[in-house]
Amino acid sequence: MTYRFLLALLGGLLLMQQPVVAQPNLAQRTGTTVAETGVAGYRFATLRLSSADGERHYRLRVALPTGAAPVSGHPVAWLLDGNAALMDVGAATLVELARRPAAPVIVFVAHDNDLRIDGAARAFDYTPRRPGGDEAQRDPLGSRRNGGADAFLELITRQAMPQVAALAPVDPARQALWGHSYGGVFVLHVLFTRPQAFAEYGAADPSLWWGDGQLSREEAAAARWSAKTRLRLWLGAGAGERKLAAGRDAGSVEIMQRARHSVPPDAAPALAARLRQRGLAVELLDLPGLSHGQTLGASLPPFLFGLSEGE
Distance CA 300, CA 205 (A): 12
Distance CA 270, CA 198 (A): 23
HEC profile of 27-92: CCECCCCHHHHCECCEEEEEEEEECCCCCCEEEEEEEEECCCCCCCCEEEEEECCHHHHHHHCCHH
Distance CA 279, CA 292 (A): 28
Provide the 3-class DSSP secondary structure of residue 106.
Answer: strand
Q: What is the DSSP letter of 145?
A: B
Provide the 3-class DSSP secondary structure of residue 292.
Answer: coil
Whether 241 is catalytic: yes
Whether 50 is catalytic: no
Distance CA 103, CA 74 (A): 6
Per annotation, catalytic residue among 189, 292, 299, 308: 292
Distance CA 201, CA 232 (A): 6
N residues, the chain: 311
Cα atoms in the 13 Å half-sphere on the side-chain side of 229: 21
Whether 143 is catalytic: no
Q: Exposed/middle/buried for 154, CB within 10 Å: 0-12, 13-18, 19+?
A: middle
Distance CA 117, CA 115 (A): 5
DSSP string over 176-237: EEEEETHHHHHHHHHHHH-GGG-SEEEEES--TTTTTTHHHHHHHHPPP--TT-EEEEEEE-
Per annotation, catalytic residue among 181, 207, 291, 299: 181
Per annotation, catalytic residue among 154, 218, 241, 283: 241
Q: Which residues are catalytic?
A: 181, 241, 292
